[in-house]
Amino acid sequence: MLEKTTRINFLYDFYQSLLTPKQRSYMEMYFIEDFSLGEISETKQVSRQAIYDNIRRTEEMLEEYEDKLMLYQNFLERQKLIQDLEIELQEQPNPSIRTIVERLKELE
Amino acid sequence: MLEKTTRINFLYDFYQSLLTPKQRSYMEMYFIEDFSLGEISETKQVSRQAIYDNIRRTEEMLEEYEDKLMLYQNFLERQKLIQDLEIELQEQPNPSIRTIVERLKELE
Protein backbone atom coordinates (compact mmCIF):
# COMPACT_ATOMS: atom_id res chain seq x y z
CA MET A 1 0.00 0.00 0.00
CA LEU A 2 2.77 2.40 0.93
CA GLU A 3 4.67 1.40 -2.19
CA LYS A 4 1.66 2.08 -4.41
CA THR A 5 1.17 5.47 -2.79
CA THR A 6 4.81 6.35 -3.43
CA ARG A 7 4.50 5.32 -7.09
CA ILE A 8 1.29 7.34 -7.55
CA ASN A 9 2.95 10.34 -5.94
CA PHE A 10 5.83 10.11 -8.40
CA LEU A 11 3.52 9.64 -11.38
CA TYR A 12 1.50 12.62 -10.15
CA ASP A 13 4.68 14.72 -10.00
CA PHE A 14 5.52 13.88 -13.60
CA TYR A 15 2.08 14.12 -15.20
CA GLN A 16 0.02 16.54 -13.11
CA SER A 17 0.20 19.18 -15.87
CA LEU A 18 -1.90 16.86 -18.07
CA LEU A 19 -4.73 16.60 -15.51
CA THR A 20 -7.75 18.88 -15.01
CA PRO A 21 -7.87 21.32 -12.03
CA LYS A 22 -10.56 19.13 -10.40
CA GLN A 23 -8.44 16.00 -10.77
CA ARG A 24 -5.41 17.81 -9.32
CA SER A 25 -7.46 19.11 -6.40
CA TYR A 26 -8.79 15.66 -5.39
CA MET A 27 -5.38 13.99 -5.90
CA GLU A 28 -3.61 16.56 -3.74
CA MET A 29 -6.15 16.34 -0.95
CA TYR A 30 -6.11 12.52 -0.96
CA PHE A 31 -2.45 11.64 -1.60
CA ILE A 32 -0.53 14.69 -0.40
CA GLU A 33 -2.64 16.30 2.35
CA ASP A 34 -3.90 12.85 3.47
CA PHE A 35 -7.63 13.71 3.68
CA SER A 36 -10.04 10.72 3.76
CA LEU A 37 -12.61 10.28 0.97
CA GLY A 38 -15.30 11.30 3.51
CA GLU A 39 -13.45 14.50 4.40
CA ILE A 40 -12.95 15.44 0.73
CA SER A 41 -16.66 14.72 0.13
CA GLU A 42 -17.64 17.10 2.96
CA THR A 43 -15.21 19.84 1.91
CA LYS A 44 -16.17 19.74 -1.76
CA GLN A 45 -19.89 18.98 -1.27
CA VAL A 46 -19.62 16.09 -3.75
CA SER A 47 -20.65 12.46 -3.08
CA ARG A 48 -18.00 10.15 -1.65
CA GLN A 49 -18.57 7.77 -4.60
CA ALA A 50 -17.94 10.54 -7.15
CA ILE A 51 -14.65 11.47 -5.44
CA TYR A 52 -13.63 7.80 -5.31
CA ASP A 53 -14.42 7.26 -9.02
CA ASN A 54 -12.57 10.43 -10.02
CA ILE A 55 -9.42 9.44 -8.09
CA ARG A 56 -9.46 5.86 -9.45
CA ARG A 57 -9.86 7.15 -13.01
CA THR A 58 -7.04 9.65 -12.48
CA GLU A 59 -4.77 6.87 -11.22
CA GLU A 60 -5.53 4.89 -14.38
CA MET A 61 -4.75 7.93 -16.52
CA LEU A 62 -1.41 8.42 -14.75
CA GLU A 63 -0.50 4.78 -15.46
CA GLU A 64 -1.56 5.20 -19.10
CA TYR A 65 0.67 8.27 -19.46
CA GLU A 66 3.53 6.34 -17.88
CA ASP A 67 2.99 3.44 -20.33
CA LYS A 68 3.29 5.93 -23.18
CA LEU A 69 6.00 8.34 -21.99
CA MET A 70 7.90 6.38 -19.29
CA LEU A 71 9.07 9.53 -17.51
CA TYR A 72 9.17 7.84 -14.12
CA GLN A 73 10.97 4.75 -15.41
CA ASN A 74 13.55 6.89 -17.22
CA PHE A 75 13.95 9.00 -14.10
CA LEU A 76 14.73 5.89 -12.02
CA GLU A 77 17.23 4.64 -14.60
CA ARG A 78 18.91 8.04 -14.77
CA GLN A 79 19.15 8.22 -10.98
CA LYS A 80 20.79 4.80 -10.91
CA LEU A 81 23.31 5.83 -13.56
CA ILE A 82 24.14 9.03 -11.75
CA GLN A 83 24.64 7.05 -8.54
CA ASP A 84 27.06 4.77 -10.40
CA LEU A 85 28.82 7.80 -11.77
CA GLU A 86 29.24 9.24 -8.30
CA ILE A 87 30.78 6.00 -7.06
CA GLU A 88 33.22 6.09 -9.97
CA LEU A 89 34.07 9.70 -9.25
CA GLN A 90 35.36 8.70 -5.85
CA GLU A 91 38.12 6.86 -7.71
CA GLN A 92 40.33 8.00 -10.54
CA PRO A 93 38.79 8.53 -14.00
CA ASN A 94 38.70 5.37 -16.10
CA PRO A 95 36.85 3.79 -19.06
CA SER A 96 33.92 2.81 -16.81
CA ILE A 97 32.98 6.45 -16.41
CA ARG A 98 32.81 6.86 -20.15
CA THR A 99 30.57 3.79 -20.43
CA ILE A 100 28.16 5.21 -17.86
CA VAL A 101 28.00 8.55 -19.57
CA GLU A 102 27.30 6.82 -22.87
CA ARG A 103 24.37 4.94 -21.33
CA LEU A 104 23.08 8.17 -19.82
CA LYS A 105 23.07 9.72 -23.28
CA GLU A 106 21.14 6.82 -24.77
CA LEU A 107 18.33 7.16 -22.25
CA GLU A 108 16.44 9.76 -24.28
CA MET B 1 12.03 26.92 -41.70
CA LEU B 2 14.65 24.23 -41.33
CA GLU B 3 14.94 25.05 -37.64
CA LYS B 4 11.19 24.71 -37.14
CA THR B 5 11.17 21.36 -38.90
CA THR B 6 13.95 20.13 -36.64
CA ARG B 7 12.05 21.27 -33.54
CA ILE B 8 8.81 19.60 -34.71
CA ASN B 9 10.72 16.40 -35.44
CA PHE B 10 12.11 16.39 -31.90
CA LEU B 11 8.71 17.17 -30.35
CA TYR B 12 7.22 14.40 -32.46
CA ASP B 13 9.86 11.96 -31.15
CA PHE B 14 8.98 12.83 -27.57
CA TYR B 15 5.18 12.98 -27.78
CA GLN B 16 4.12 10.74 -30.67
CA SER B 17 2.69 8.17 -28.22
CA LEU B 18 0.06 10.74 -27.19
CA LEU B 19 -1.19 11.24 -30.78
CA THR B 20 -3.83 9.28 -32.69
CA PRO B 21 -2.78 6.80 -35.43
CA LYS B 22 -4.14 9.20 -38.08
CA GLN B 23 -2.12 12.11 -36.67
CA ARG B 24 1.01 9.96 -36.58
CA SER B 25 0.46 8.79 -40.15
CA TYR B 26 0.14 12.35 -41.56
CA MET B 27 3.06 13.66 -39.49
CA GLU B 28 5.36 10.86 -40.61
CA MET B 29 4.48 11.28 -44.26
CA TYR B 30 4.91 15.06 -44.13
CA PHE B 31 7.91 15.57 -41.83
CA ILE B 32 9.83 12.30 -42.06
CA GLU B 33 9.11 10.87 -45.50
CA ASP B 34 8.91 14.40 -47.00
CA PHE B 35 5.66 13.95 -48.95
CA SER B 36 3.91 17.15 -50.08
CA LEU B 37 0.39 17.94 -48.84
CA GLY B 38 -0.87 17.16 -52.34
CA GLU B 39 0.83 13.76 -52.35
CA ILE B 40 -0.57 12.86 -48.93
CA SER B 41 -4.02 13.99 -50.13
CA GLU B 42 -3.79 11.67 -53.15
CA THR B 43 -2.44 8.71 -51.16
CA LYS B 44 -5.02 9.00 -48.38
CA GLN B 45 -7.94 10.14 -50.55
CA VAL B 46 -8.59 13.05 -48.16
CA SER B 47 -8.76 16.73 -49.15
CA ARG B 48 -5.53 18.71 -49.08
CA GLN B 49 -7.17 21.22 -46.68
CA ALA B 50 -8.13 18.47 -44.21
CA ILE B 51 -4.56 17.15 -44.22
CA TYR B 52 -3.21 20.67 -43.73
CA ASP B 53 -5.60 21.38 -40.81
CA ASN B 54 -4.79 18.07 -39.15
CA ILE B 55 -1.03 18.65 -39.34
CA ARG B 56 -1.31 22.26 -38.08
CA ARG B 57 -3.49 21.12 -35.15
CA THR B 58 -1.04 18.31 -34.36
CA GLU B 59 1.85 20.80 -34.32
CA GLU B 60 -0.12 22.93 -31.84
CA MET B 61 -0.76 19.88 -29.66
CA LEU B 62 2.95 18.99 -29.67
CA GLU B 63 3.79 22.54 -28.52
CA GLU B 64 1.10 22.33 -25.82
CA TYR B 65 2.56 19.05 -24.53
CA GLU B 66 6.02 20.64 -24.53
CA ASP B 67 4.69 23.64 -22.55
CA LYS B 68 3.34 21.21 -19.97
CA LEU B 69 6.01 18.49 -19.81
CA MET B 70 9.15 20.18 -21.21
CA LEU B 71 10.69 16.88 -22.33
CA TYR B 72 12.56 18.47 -25.23
CA GLN B 73 13.84 21.39 -23.17
CA ASN B 74 15.02 19.03 -20.42
CA PHE B 75 16.64 16.82 -23.04
CA LEU B 76 18.61 19.78 -24.43
CA GLU B 77 19.73 20.81 -20.94
CA ARG B 78 20.76 17.27 -20.11
CA GLN B 79 22.74 16.97 -23.34
CA LYS B 80 24.57 20.20 -22.51
CA LEU B 81 25.41 18.95 -19.02
CA ILE B 82 26.66 15.64 -20.33
CA GLN B 83 28.81 17.48 -22.85
CA ASP B 84 30.30 19.53 -19.98
CA LEU B 85 30.86 16.34 -18.06
CA GLU B 86 32.75 14.80 -20.96
CA ILE B 87 35.02 17.82 -21.21
CA GLU B 88 35.76 17.55 -17.51
CA LEU B 89 36.47 13.85 -17.86
CA GLN B 90 39.30 14.65 -20.21
CA GLU B 91 41.02 16.20 -17.21
CA GLN B 92 41.50 14.89 -13.69
CA PRO B 93 38.45 14.62 -11.41
CA ASN B 94 37.74 17.83 -9.53
CA PRO B 95 34.90 19.64 -7.72
CA SER B 96 33.50 20.91 -11.03
CA ILE B 97 32.48 17.39 -11.94
CA ARG B 98 30.51 17.06 -8.75
CA THR B 99 28.73 20.36 -9.46
CA ILE B 100 27.70 19.17 -12.92
CA VAL B 101 26.39 15.89 -11.60
CA GLU B 102 24.37 17.76 -8.97
CA ARG B 103 22.76 19.92 -11.66
CA LEU B 104 22.02 16.82 -13.69
CA LYS B 105 20.17 15.36 -10.72
CA GLU B 106 18.09 18.49 -10.25
CA LEU B 107 16.82 18.39 -13.82
CA GLU B 108 13.88 16.11 -12.98
Which domains are delineated in chain B? 2-69 (1.10.10.10), 73-107 (no CATH)
Which of A53, A61, A103 lies closest to A80 in space, CA to CA? Answer: A103
Nearest CA in chain A to B14: A69
Query: B65 φ, ψ to 5°?
Result: -65, -40
Contact (CB<8Å) B17/A69: yes
Q: For residue range A83-104, what is the model confidence (pLDDT) as tens digits?
A: 777 777 776 666 666 777 777 7
Query: From the CA of B59, how many Å to the nearest CA of chain A?
Result: 17
Q: What is the mean pLDDT of residues A76-87?
A: 80
Among B15, B82, B105, beta carbon nearest to A105 = B82
pLDDT of residue B5: 78
Look up residue B105 and give its amino acid. Answer: K
Q: What number is the average pLDDT over the span A18-45?
A: 95
Q: Does A81 touch chain B (CB under 8 A)?
A: no
CA B70 to chain centre: 10
Task: Read off the amino acid at residue B50.
Answer: A
Contact between A89 and B92 using a beta-carbon 8 Å cutoff: no
Mean pLDDT of A49-67: 97
Q: What is the pLDDT of residue B92?
A: 61
Q: Average pLDDT for residues A73-82, to the nearest whole number?
A: 84
The band of A107, judged by pLDDT with boundaries at 50, 70 and 90, is: low
Question: Chain B within 8 Å of A94 (Cβ-Cβ)?
Answer: no
Contacts of residue B55, defined as CB under 8 A and 6 or more positions apart, other chains included, come to B26, B27, B30, B37
pLDDT at site B103: 74
Asked whether the beta carbons of residue B104 and residue A82 sit closer than 8 angstroms, the reply is: yes
Are A24 and A71 in contact by the 8 Å Cβ rule? The answer is: no
Which regions in chain B score pLDDT beneath 50? 1
B81 CB near a chain A CB, below 8 Å?
Answer: no
State pTM to two decimals: 0.82
Q: What is the pLDDT of residue B43?
A: 95
Mean per-residue pLDDT for A55-80?
A: 93
User: Using a CB-CB distance cutoff of 8 angstroms, which residues of chain B are in contact with residue A10?
Assistant: none
Q: Please check the confidence at residue A40 and state whether its pLDDT lies above 70.
A: yes
